[in-house]
Structure 1
């Protein structure tokens, strides 16, 4: 997948109040309709055998995070409708198209043009202020209170989202759903853990009667911090962050992943999803969503190993 795209220039978006209005209006739309809906050009890394399995286990363990205290890895289940604000139309469409391409590869449905966005990408030259004010003014949209507002990684992680300067930052809100994907309202009202059922065929694997599914994802890209990067690099980086809930603080420098794209400045060449990235996503979406987090991680590990052999 090698799509030639132009280099991103600084995005001119007017004064800050206008940017905030656009971003906040988009966040409001998320709350109104939360569920509507390859290799890096770097030195090649060759890992084989036992060393490969160990490296993959460490990679998956480092980047994967569960949603709240539910011990499950969230993912999309149903329709994804990506929306981009703050970019020129042609660049925004390129980002939307790339996200849609990866979502379709995972078997997800992608909303038609004009659908209510549940995956919002905000490009801004003032991401630090935008993030802080989103958290201060739109806590419900970010799942701050839990319960019917959704499940997240918690308030400490939300503070990190607001206060830590990054080229790209992301925030995921998930809902508890049954095995068919039907969202269960007020999932934590009783304070009791979700029920479990014995996996078909017996054995020691335990499946739950519920799963964690994304209801909305917000990604903020700092235009100044990614200036000079190709749109394809940004679009694939955003796709990885949008389709899986990843630890933004994970040190991934020793593994072949697009998550390294902005660790040492802005790359001059286009970097796309690596084999590990693609296999990670396929492993996440190929596993049963109602498995425990540990079982989901092992499924992802197997997919990455198989994709590397």
Structure 2
């Protein structure tokens, strides 16, 4: 009896011979997925139910505080990235929707903008305005979104869909000119492209696999440019469903980033 019981227990705890062991490929994919999850979590709002707002159709950037040639280069770079995401970037003759300001005392400028109510958030988040004023980041930003920006609000028919479809309609980016002297204009342009188009939450602990970590990392031989993760994140953001819940949007971005890693690996083999 005891012998038969021991045999039975051994069969229960022993691994099934029909269950394949995980391959190295499975481990790599899981590692990439975990990295993508951490990346998305760092760039998006801590409120996991909140939808991710993005630009709809077009942007109209304006750059102030630098000379015309520098402003043109920054606008061209943002336009190039925007067009890769299916957006149109107006060069002129449009109402500014994306204002990027360079100032040698960004801290004082941010406080003045908030005090004068130039930055108006309405009911969309006083805490975000506080973060905008108090952050020590060389680049700070704040955006406004319309909850029904994508062709109005849809009728809610499923718990997996949201009636709101938020779209950004205004963004202010403030760059501290005293803090960016060590970086080239192409690096700053790529950084601003990620900020202005990705609309990440204003934080400080950016992943090292994003250009957003540029100001907190040591200088390397290669220039800081948009990373593969940055580009995959932006692609995932702009291809996610506008009526999806926040968690579903994030899942879509993570899948895009993971699949993008797989494709890049296949091309390099």
Instruction: Report the TM-score when normalising by structure 2.
Output: 0.81
Structure number with higher relative contact order (C-alpha < 8 Å, ≥ 6 residues apart):
1
Query: 1:101 — aligned with what?
Result: 80
Structure 1's 115 and 266: CA in aligned 2 closer, same or farther, altered over 3 A?
Answer: farther
Query: 2:12 — aligned with what?
Result: none
Query: 1:15 — aligned with what?
Result: none
Q: 2:241 aligns with which of 278, 281, 288?
A: 288
Q: 2:163 aligns with which of 209, 231, 249?
A: 209
Instruction: Work out whether residues 175 and 183 of structure 1, in 8 Å CA contact, stay in contact via their aligned partners in 2.
Output: no
Kindly provide the CA deviation profile for residues 83-130 of structure 1, in whole angstroms up to 9, marking residues without a partner as x. 100001111100011111111000012114232210010011010011
**Residues in 2 aligned to 1:69 and 1:60: alpha-carbon distance in whole angstroms:** 11
Map of 1:94-173 to 2, 5 A cutoff? Answer: 94-138=73-117, 141-143=119-121, 145-146=122-123, 151=124, 154-173=125-144
**Residues in 2 aligned to 1:62 and 1:124: alpha-carbon distance in whole angstroms:** 27
Aligned partner of residue 120 in structure 1, secondary structure: strand
- Report which of the two has the higher share of helix: 2
> What's the CA shift for 1:157?
2.2
Instruction: Work out whether residues 191 and 226 of structure 2, in 8 Å CA contact, stay in contact via their aligned partners in 1.
Output: yes
> What's the CA shift for 1:163?
1.6
Aligned partner of residue 157 in structure 2, secondary structure: strand
Greater Rg over alpha carbons, structure: 2
Q: CA RMSD in A?
A: 2.3
Query: 1:59 — aligned with what?
Result: 39
Query: 1:187 — aligned with what?
Result: none
Structure 1's 252 and 48: CA in aligned 2 closer, same or farther, altered over 3 A?
Answer: farther
Map of 1:1-309 to 2, 5 A cutoff? Answer: 48-65=28-45, 71-138=50-117, 141-143=119-121, 145-146=122-123, 151=124, 154-177=125-148, 181-182=150-151, 196-198=156-158, 206-253=160-207, 255-264=208-217, 269-309=222-262
Instruction: Report the TM-score when normalising by structure 1.
Output: 0.71
Q: What runs of 5+ residues in structure 1 fail to find an aligned partner?
A: 1-46, 185-193, 199-204
Aligned residues: 236
**Residues in 2 aligned to 1:159 and 1:63: alpha-carbon distance in whole angstroms:** 18
Q: What runs of 5+ residues in structure 2 fail to find an aligned partner?
A: 1-26, 263-269
